[in-house]
Amino acid sequence: MNYDSLFVSPKGRTPRAQFVPALLVLLAAVLFYAFLVKGRTAQFCLLTLLYPALMLHARRLHDLGRSGWMLIVPAVLLVAMFGIRLDYFTFGAGVDTAITWLALALSATVALWCSLARGAAGREAAAAR
């Protein structure tokens, strides 16, 4: 499996053994732009990384027997977070902070679940025992 298929197409499945290293590469890029690059450039780069992250997670969800559409709520929250951070809109300081933390917490939960859950191959191996 190559990174083009992991990060570009939502079709297919990604087993945990391929998902975790790909997620680590994506997290390294996110950390680079979040902490070493400043200003709007960093925010736009992070927003651009949202697409490969969604494709990677959609493929992993397919391996878990779930629909990639489960990512719609975290995706909407992340886009709202970026809209707030880029000063395109605001809902008030309290709501803006709540959206940011909710988006980050929900995204981290999905990533952790996808990293730890057994996919189709793992379930078949466990059933064969």
Domains in the chain, number: 1
Flag whether 129 is in a domain: no
Flag whether 16 is in a domain: yes
Flag whether 19 is in a domain: yes
Flag whether 4 is in a domain: no
* Residue 129 pLDDT grade (very low, low, confident, very high; cuts 50, 70, 90): low
User: If you average pLDDT over residues 31-37, what whole number do you get?
Assistant: 95
* Residue 127 pLDDT grade (very low, low, confident, very high; cuts 50, 70, 90): low
Flag whether 21 is in a domain: yes
* Residue 3 pLDDT grade (very low, low, confident, very high; cuts 50, 70, 90): confident
Determine the residue type at 29: A
Instruction: Tell me the average pLDDT of the chain.
Output: 92
CA 78 to chain centre: 9
Flag whether 22 is in a domain: yes
> Is residue 2 scored above 90 in pLDDT?
no
Does residue 46 contact residue 104 with C-beta atoms inside 8 Å? no
Q: Quote the domain boundaries for residue 59.
A: 9-119
